Amino acid sequence: MQIPKRMRRQAVFLDRDGVLNFDDGYVGQIEQFRWIDGVIEAVRTLNEAGYFVSLVTNQAGVAHGHYPEAAIAALHEWMQLELRWQGAHLDDIRYCPFHPEGKVAAYRRHSDWRKPASGMITDLCRSWDIDLSKSHLIGDKASDIEAGQVAGLTTHLFEGGNLLDFVRARRLV
């Protein structure tokens, strides 16, 4: 059975390091994590506007041996708790721990989930009814923008500042 097109939700796909938190290089522990200004308010505002809000993030720190996957899971769980305490949430999360030049053999490979490929977005679209024609990606790197464009999203390059102001300036809410 197909879901009628009118029931599909618009989505905003968010990169993590450089969009949700300051990119201090291989952020894999809660103690290293620093929210960017306006993030919690931006996510809450997107939630309230009816967007499906998800995280799509490369996490090559796993492949390079900086931290294990369990650290990523713990950090993402903590992020969700922090968001929920303030009335916001991420609907889903995808991350890519692989890198073709990784030091950890189990994670040393190419992956269609690693941006600039769009595998994480494609996987989320298989899991949720998303209207790509009305959806957006916010990233801070060319690889984020390329992944969003390949997936058919409207893309926005975030170069710092307050994320809520950025979302409002692009008239997403």
Active site residue 17: yes
Amino acid at 121: I
In single-letter form, the type of residue at position 116 comes to P
CATH number assigned to the domain comprising residue 19: 3.40.50.1000
Structural domain includes residue 2? no
The mean pLDDT value for 50-58 works out to: 98
Catalytic site residue from 15, 24, 144, 165: 15
CA dihedral 154, 14, 46, 156 (to 10 degrees): -30
Residue 18 located in a structural domain: yes
In a domain, 24, yes or no: yes
Is the pLDDT at 5 greater than 80, yes or no? Answer: no
Residue 6 banded pLDDT, cuts 50, 70, 90: low
Q: Give me the domain span that covers residue 108.
A: 13-138+150-169
Question: Which whole number is the average pLDDT over 79-89?
Answer: 98
Please indicate whether residue 165 is annotated as part of the active site: no
Asked whether residue 3 is assigned to any structural domain, the reply reads no
Backbone angles phi, psi at 87, to 5 degrees: 80, 20
Tens of pLDDT along 90-108?
999 999 999 999 999 999 9
Domain count within the chain: 1
In a domain, 91, yes or no: yes
Mean predicted confidence (pLDDT) in 48-54:
98
Residues 38, 41, 42, 45, Cα dihedral to 10°: -160
